[in-house]
Amino acid sequence: MTRAYRSPGPADVSAILGVQRECYPAALREDRQTVEQRIAAARDFCWVAHDEQGLFAYLFAYPSTLGRVTPLGGLFHVQPGGDTLYLHDLAVSRRAARSGAGSNLVELAVASALARGFTHAALVAVQGSRPFWEQHGFVLHEAADTTQAANLQTYPGTAVYMRRQLRSNK
């Protein structure tokens, strides 16, 4: 089956919400308006995967600053000149689970981050996904202050902030 990866558009939102429903319990889901805002704010930093059966995975990211945690449902405030590509949400439909799609999306995002000069990629790992991110070179990074710790606590269950250094700081 042929797979392709591209940036999402407004017409993809329903399919993205379908994958989100499969991958997250209600407490971790974001609504249509939030997903639309993410695409409008940072389309060039978001990717979807599709094949003959349609869209089956997505990764939403945006330029941020190392140490800054995006709360669940929080808007993407793109930071021009930010040093970190923040990977907010990666999800793969059950029909494509463990077939490399999640890894492919991470590799796309990291390649884009490197090409654009970011020094780090970062994210909040939820639902026991920490080992997946460790396989991709991410390590734990302590919340910088009480604001960031509070943002982390908006995620139910165990949630940890992780970062991967892509190049040395200038």
Ligand X SMILES: CC(C)(COP(=O)(O)OP(=O)(O)OC[C@H]1O[C@@H](n2cnc3c(N)ncnc32)[C@H](O)[C@@H]1OP(=O)(O)O)[C@@H](O)C(=O)NCCC(=O)NCCS
Interface residue list for ligand X (CB under 6 A): 23, 90-92, 97-103, 123, 125-129, 131-132, 135
Minimum CB distance to ligand X, residue 169 (Å):
25
- Residue 133 CB neighbours (<10 A): 22
User: Quick one: 6 or 167, whose CB is closer to ligand X?
Assistant: 6
Minimum CB distance to ligand X, residue 29 (Å):
11
C-alpha to C-alpha distance for 88 and 46, rounded to whole angstroms: 10
Minimum CB distance to ligand X, residue 22 (Å):
8
User: Quick one: 80 or 131, whose CB is closer to ligand X?
Assistant: 131
User: Quick one: 83 or 89, whose CB is closer to ligand X?
Assistant: 89
C-alpha to C-alpha distance for 168 and 141, rounded to whole angstroms: 16
C-alpha dihedral, 63 to 16 to 7 to 61, nearest 10°? 10
- Residue 159 CB neighbours (<10 A): 19
40: exposed, middle or buried (C-beta count within 10 Å: 0-12, 13-18, 19+)? exposed
User: Quick one: 69 or 91, whose CB is closer to ligand X?
Assistant: 91
Closest-approach residue to ligand X (CB): 102
> Among 77, 78, 74, which Cα is nearest to 153's?
74
Minimum CB distance to ligand X, residue 81 (Å):
26
Minimum CB distance to ligand X, residue 62 (Å):
15
User: Quick one: 5 or 132, whose CB is closer to ligand X?
Assistant: 132
DSSP state of 81: T
